[in-house]
């Protein structure tokens, strides 16, 4: 079956939009307390912010023990059941946070949300492969990537805005309870919509990869680590995702001692916000171009290549206008590499199950992010992007219809 002539169900857009809602809610649940850590600490931990930071760290820690089980579930039980585990945890735990009067109960809910992350994020390429033609797979993954950052941007901009009025009135606890209601109800609604509307796959496979029988996870994992192109892509994700997470995590430190043409305390929010907005635009625009021309490598090379000069500019510019432009372009190219790379992995390694390659790539970025944050230095990050550029040059372009990893 040729991917371009395969039947495509219009219901794919319903499945995609409902899952995008749940992806966005997973990020909102994860990052809820990050913008209001000191306020939350005053209510839940007697002022100890470290305990609040643990709540956000749980999402990253959840990848380590649950990445492989999540990928196995998605590949063996299908997209709806596998991703549904994560959706169920986010919906139920996100809603139950409303009724958590103490830190211990809040921590229990956040553990559930942390476990949910790999079940949701490892399903991107499974959904794209199950429902979309080869001409739309990167676009589908790009829209899912965009929903990640919609969730991230929502929680960063809305949370403090909601709490501000309550803070001024001396009613911080009531404000946090309102935030948990505002986020918890949509999480529950998203979960219900998922189980009511989302189907595992259409009656007819929309592309040649979806029609192909997959190997077991054990065989697939062995195949992945014998595939030279996947290993170079793994190195690219290890650096790119880890460095991106570290830059956003430590962005406040980047402007501490720099003389800018505005108040330096405003720069992290402006530049970080424009990085995220640029990323959302790039995830859609460059994904669509990648699908249109069926090219993957050039977009990975662009992402790594552009990251080198832009990371230098972010380190030394003093004009907020130029910093904003650099941040937007940085996000535009770097974040767009995520859906392109995930789709490249599926095409280059099939019949390895989609969630297996997806999960391993995402896990690598979570693992590398921690040491890069701990030893953060922008000069070192720029050097890492140089290594990523070399990796991107080493991978080979996918031929039309994909290449089987079991013979390469």
pTM over 0.85: no
Is residue 2 in some structural domain? no
Closest alpha carbon to 38 in 26, 27, 46: 46
Indicate whether 150 and 237 sit together in one domain.
no
Indicate whether 153 and 298 sit together in one domain.
no
Q: Tokens representing 64?
A: 């380590």
CA distance 327 to 255: 13
Closest alpha carbon to 71 in 348, 365, 347, 354: 354
Is residue 202 in some structural domain? no
Is residue 401 in some structural domain? no
Is residue 342 in some structural domain? yes
Q: Are 90 and 103 in contact (CB under 8 A)?
A: no
Q: Are 268 and 34 in contact (CB under 8 A)?
A: no
Indicate whether 120 and 16 sit together in one domain.
yes
Task: State the pLDDT at residue 402.
Answer: 47
Task: State the pLDDT at residue 405.
Answer: 42
Q: Is the dihedral of CA 348, 349, 355, 359 positive or negative?
A: negative
Indicate whether 191 and 223 sit together in one domain.
no
In which domain, by residue range, is 102 found? 7-197
Find how far residue 262's CA is from the centre of its chain: 31
Is residue 405 in some structural domain? no
Q: How many domains does the chain have?
A: 2
CA distance 112 to 394: 39
Alpha carbons within 13 angstroms on the beta-carbon side of residue 252 total: 3
CA distance 275 to 330: 6
Domain end among 151, 170, 197: 197
Residues 178, 181, 185, CA angle at the centre, nearest 5°?
160
Indicate whether 136 and 228 sit together in one domain.
no
Is residue 404 in some structural domain? no
CA distance 403 to 408: 8
Is residue 291 in some structural domain? yes
Domain end among 153, 172, 197: 197
Is residue 208 in some structural domain? no
Indicate whether 290 and 353 sit together in one domain.
yes
Domain end among 165, 197, 229: 197
CATH number of the domain at 187, please.
1.20.1250.20
List of residues 6+ apart from 304 with CB closer than 8 A: 236, 240, 337, 385, 388, 389, 391, 392
Q: Are 57 and 374 in contact (CB under 8 A)?
A: no
Indicate whether 386 and 268 sit together in one domain.
yes
Give the DSSP letter string of 139-182: HHHHHHHHHHHHHHHHHHHHHHHHHHHHHHTT-HHHHHHHHHHH
Neighbours of 101 (CB within 10 A): 10
Indicate whether 188 and 326 sit together in one domain.
no
CA distance 300 to 127: 22
Closest alpha carbon to 315 in 267, 365, 354: 267
Indicate whether 178 and 266 sit together in one domain.
no
Indicate whether 193 and 219 sit together in one domain.
no
Indicate whether 166 and 232 sit together in one domain.
no
Indicate whether 167 and 316 sit together in one domain.
no
Reading the chain (408 residues) residue by residue, the pLDDT tens digits are 344 455 789 999 999 999 999 999 999 998 888 888 888 899 999 988 888 888 877 777 778 899 899 999 998 999 999 999 999 999 999 999 999 889 999 999 999 999 999 999 999 999 998 999 888 888 999 999 999 989 988 887 888 888 888 988 889 999 999 999 999 999 999 999 999 999 999 988 887 766 666 677 788 788 899 999 999 999 999 999 888 888 877 777 787 778 888 877 678 778 888 998 999 899 899 999 998 888 999 999 999 999 999 999 999 999 999 999 999 999 999 988 999 999 999 888 888 888 888 889 988 888 887 788 778 788 999 999 999 999 999 999 877 554 444 444
CA distance 65 to 13: 32
Task: State the pLDDT at residue 362.
Answer: 87
């Amino acid at each position: 079956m040729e991917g371009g002539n395969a039947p495509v169900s219009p219901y794919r857009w319903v499945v995609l939009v409902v899952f995008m809602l749940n992806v966005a809610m997973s990020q909102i649940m994860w990052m809820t307390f990050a913008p209001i850590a000191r306020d939350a600490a005053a209510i839940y931990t007697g002022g100890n912010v470290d305990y609040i930071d643990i709540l956000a760290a749980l999402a990253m820690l959840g990848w380590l023990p649950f990445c492989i089980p999540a990928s196995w579930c998605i590949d063996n039980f299908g997209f709806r059941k596998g991703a549904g585990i994560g959706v169920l945890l986010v919906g139920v735990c996100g809603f139950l946070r409303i009724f958590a009067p103490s830190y211990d109960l809040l921590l229990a809910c956040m553990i559930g949300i942390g476990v949910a992350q790999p079940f949701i994020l490892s399903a991107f390429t499974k959904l794209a492969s199950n429902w979309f033609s080869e001409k739309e797979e990167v676009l589908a993954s790009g829209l899912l990537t965009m929903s990640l950052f919609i969730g991230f941007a929502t929680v960063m901009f809305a949370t403090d805005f909601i709490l501000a009025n309550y803070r001024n009135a001396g009613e911080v606890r009531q404000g946090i309870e309102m935030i948990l209601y505002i986020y918890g109800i949509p999480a529950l609604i998203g979960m219900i919509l998922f189980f009511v509307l989302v189907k595992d796959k259409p009656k007819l496979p929309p592309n040649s990869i979806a029609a192909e029988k997959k190997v077991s996870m054990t065989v697939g994992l062995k195949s992945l680590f014998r595939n030279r192109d996947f290993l170079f892509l793994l190195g690219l994700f290890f650096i790119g995702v880890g460095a991106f997470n570290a830059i956003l995590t430590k962005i406040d430190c980047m402007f501490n001692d720099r003389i800018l043409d505005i108040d330096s305390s405003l720069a992290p929010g402006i530049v970080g916000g424009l990085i995220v907005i640029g990323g959302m635009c790039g995830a859609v625009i460059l994904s669509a171009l990648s699908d249109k021309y069926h090219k993957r490598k050039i977009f990975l090379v662009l992402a790594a290549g552009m990251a080198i000069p832009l990371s230098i500019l972010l380190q030394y510019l003093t004009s907020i206008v130029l910093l904003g432009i650099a941040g937007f372009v940085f996000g535009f190219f770097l974040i767009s590499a995520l859906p392109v790379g995930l789709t490249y992995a599926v095409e280059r390694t099939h019949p390895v199950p989609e969630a297996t390659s997806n999960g391993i790539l995402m896990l690598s970025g979570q693992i590398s992010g921690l040491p890069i944050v701990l030893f953060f230095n922008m000069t070192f990050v720029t050097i890492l992007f140089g290594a990523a550029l070399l990796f991107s040059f080493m991978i080979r372009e996918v031929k039309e219809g994909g290449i089987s990893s079991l013979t390469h």
